[in-house]
């Protein structure tokens, strides 16, 4: 039986405004490029099968699950990860709202939640509860029960939330 050949190629990818060139195997997943090659460990791996959303990043303006893409597909792309949200030590309104509304406990899902919610707020600056729930349906949280996350997203959009 022939052993399949794993090829490599050099890619250039912009992440949070910095351009990186790396040689990657054709089978390498984008999440592993981010975490292991670029040391951007904010994006998490919860399942590796596209179910949990912990690895969510924004890829050329579109929310994606980075365990569902190959690193070579990012050649020439511009990616935003959770590390790129805060300016210096200044949290974004969304990050501050997560903090204020206790929208995280263990924090494992939080980077993915923040990226999904960031993508939502760009598209819909004052989302309804239903829109928020729909936008976050691909992100699993086993701690919070979700309601505080919905409240935080709503608060970040400048809407009143019931405490
Ligand atoms: S690690 Fe990508 S969806 Fe779970
Ligand atoms: S805060 Fe623990 S999984 Fe969401």
What is the reported pLDDT for 115?
A: 98
Distance 136 CA to ligand 2 centre (A): 13
Q: What is the pLDDT of residues 25-46, one digit of tens each?
A: 999 999 999 999 999 999 999 9
Distance 2 CA to ligand 1 centre (A): 31
CB 153 within 8 A of CB 94: yes
What is the reported pLDDT for 73?
A: 98
109 half-sphere exposure, CB direction, 13 A CA radius: 22
CB 116 within 8 A of CB 48: no
The rounded mean pLDDT for the chain is 96
Strands (E) across the chain are located at: 8-15, 18-25, 56-59, 62-65, 78-80
Q: What is the pLDDT of residues 42-61, one digit of tens each?
A: 999 999 999 999 999 999 99
Cβ of 105 less than 6 Å from ligand 2: yes
pLDDT higher than threshold 90 for residue 1: no
CA 96 – CA 105 distance, rounded (Å): 14
Pocket of ligand 1 (CB under 6 A): 45-48, 50-55, 65, 67
Q: What is the pLDDT of residues 118-156, one digit of tens each?
A: 999 999 999 999 999 999 999 999 999 999 999 999 999
């Amino acid at each position: 039986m022939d052993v399949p050949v794993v090829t490599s190629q050099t890619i250039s990818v912009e992440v949070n405004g910095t351009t990186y060139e790396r040689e990657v195997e054709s089978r390498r997943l984008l999440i592993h490029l981010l975490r292991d090659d670029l040391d951007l460990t904010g994006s998490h791996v919860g399942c590796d099968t596209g179910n949990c959303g912990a690895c969510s990043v924004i890829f050329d303006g579109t929310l994606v699950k980075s365990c569902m893409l190959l690193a070579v597909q990012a050649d020439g792309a511009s990616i935003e990860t959770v590390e790129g949200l805060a300016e210096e030590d200044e949290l974004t309104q969304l990050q501050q709202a997560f903090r204020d509304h206790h929208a995280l406990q263990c924090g494992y899902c939080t980077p993915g939640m923040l990226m999904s919610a960031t993508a939502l707020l760009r598209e819909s600056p004052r989302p309804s509860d239903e829109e928020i729930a729909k936008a976050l349906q691909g992100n699993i949280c086993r701690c919070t029960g979700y309601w505080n996350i919905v409240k935080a997203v709503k608060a970040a959009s400048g809407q009143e939330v019931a405490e």
